Structure 1
Amino acid sequence: MADTGSSKMKLYYFPQYRSVRNIWLIKEMGVEDDFEFIRYDSLQEYNATVEAYRRDVNPHGTIPSLVVPGEGTVLESGAINMYLADRYKKLLPDPKYLKDYYDFIIYGNATLDELIGFFFELLMLKTPFSDEKVKKMTEKFDTCMDYLAKKLENREFLCGDKFTAADTVLGFDLYCAALINDGKLLEKHPKIRDGYYARLQKRPAFQATIAMT
């Protein structure tokens, strides 16, 4: 896993994981030839190389990671997308939406990622949580979706009518919400499910990413 001198950036990824947002961005920008995609198909495959991965790529052992020749590793999925959008000068917002751009990327990478992780444990892994915890997290998720619906009024995407890297970051969380428990998380939020997320699903790069991951 050490640097081999290749000029290509290396993206380490799991299917149907946070790396979806990174591959989606890369495909939207049309720069796949600049990357080597290193896929782990199972935890067993990952565990077999985790010591070398921690040593050479990411000391925390987390996925995804982006290795940039001559620069090092970008560790966080949202930071990977911000870095790549800036590097290629593509999928950046109009200046008047810069505040929303940064806010939504961190909102997806922090607030919504935490909620998606909780509901994955609760509904898919059947991890027991107190009724109080479930209520609190459900209310928080619903508040997030209501906030998004309000922000998206009269907008096609998060930063106006222009698709940006922010949509690939936060859109991944909606993709997960639509998968978990047959999409029941989004049932109370048709404006998000049938509006914004439906538009994201129609994008060829999104479809190609899901087919790949």
Structure 2
Amino acid sequence: MKLYYSKGACSLSPHITACEAELPIELVEVDLKSKRTVAGEDFRLINPNGYVPVLILDDGNKLTEGPAIVQYLADQAPDKKLVPLAGTFERYQLQQWLNFISTEIHKSFGALFNPAMPESGKQVAITTLISRLENVAEHLSNRAFLLGDHFTVADGYLFVTLSWGAHVNVDIGRWPVLANYVAKISARPAVQKALKEEGLV
């Protein structure tokens, strides 16, 4: 399998999942400004939307969108229990979290990285983000991970988005529970492996 990624972007989430699942993947780095891979390939031919991640399967099939990719990867290694079984209520809870992280946290952070976003728009995004993170901190105040006592792909995705705070002046440290959560997930061997492979540590 081949994973198109950009250092520290949301593609780090499926990269972490692949490492947690111990799945062999080929990494292809993409420059999101030029929309080209490091080898010079036009990335828009891979994903017309021009953003990562993209997963190319060995049979040539392609998946885009991180929440879909992480579930696919996790399902390839069911013994790792990175996702609840399909059809269970817990699987829908996982999908609920993946959607929440994608639409409420990821998108709010995205506005802060956008140089074309006016300051007024960024302030709206920060207000929304703080509200959402307050709720996540409350949820994690009495459980180790989003779905309870077991790490899932939703935790990998949340970890990645929370790591962006340092780059856009959103101090995660204001919520000690979130700071501790990030430190705990960062210490996981598979997460360290993914971070090292992207040159982030």
Query: TM class, shorter-chain normalised?
Result: 0.7 to 0.9
TM-score w.r.t. structure 2 length?
A: 0.83
Answering whether residue 26 of structure 2 is matched by residue 36 of structure 1, we say: yes
Give the distance between the partners of 2:31 and 2:124, measured in 1 at CA: 34
| Structure 2 residue aligned with 1:206 | 191
How far apart are residue 42 of structure 1 and its match?
A: 7.1
Aligned partner (choices 63, 82, 98) of residue 52 of structure 2: 63
Tell me which amino acid in the other structure corresponds to 1:190: P
Answering whether residue 178 of structure 2 is matched by residue 189 of structure 1, we say: no
How far apart are residue 144 of structure 1 and its match?
A: 0.9
Answering whether residue 157 of structure 2 is matched by residue 169 of structure 1, we say: yes
Answering whether residue 151 of structure 2 is matched by residue 158 of structure 1, we say: no
Runs of 5+ unmatched residues, structure 2: none
Describe the superposition over 1:2-59 as per-residue Cα deviations: whole angstroms up to 9, x where unpaired: xxxxxxx11111111111111111111112x3x2222236744817421xx433x323
Alignment map for 1:40-59 (pairs within 5 Å):
40=30, 43-44=33-34, 46=36, 48-50=40-42, 53-55=43-45, 57-59=46-48
Change (3 A) 1:80 1:130: same
Q: State the identity %.
A: 25
How far apart are residue 159 of structure 1 and its match?
A: 0.8
Asked if the contact 1:12–1:38 (Cα under 8 Å) also holds between the matched residues in 2, the reply is yes
Tell me which amino acid in the other structure corresponds to 2:96: D
Alignment map for 1:74-89 (pairs within 5 Å):
74-89=63-78
Change (3 A) 1:114 1:45: closer
Change (3 A) 1:40 1:134: closer
Cα RMSD (Å) of the superposition? 2.3
Asked if the contact 1:15–1:41 (Cα under 8 Å) also holds between the matched residues in 2, the reply is no
How far apart are residue 99 of structure 1 and its match?
A: 3.4
Give the distance between the partners of 1:129 and 1:185, measured in 2 at CA: 21
Runs of 5+ unmatched residues, structure 1: 1-8
Q: Which secondary structure does the structure 1 equivalent of 2:41 belong to? A: helix
Change (3 A) 1:65 1:148: same
Count of matched residue positions in the alignment of Structure 1 and Structure 2: 192
Name whichever structure is richer in helix by fraction.
Answer: 1
Alignment map for 1:100-119 (pairs within 5 Å):
100-119=93-112
Tell me which amino acid in the other structure corresponds to 1:159: L
How far apart are residue 96 of structure 1 and its match?
A: 5.5
| Structure 2 residue aligned with 1:180 | 167
Larger radius of gyration: 1
Give the distance between the partners of 1:101 and 1:154, measured in 2 at CA: 18
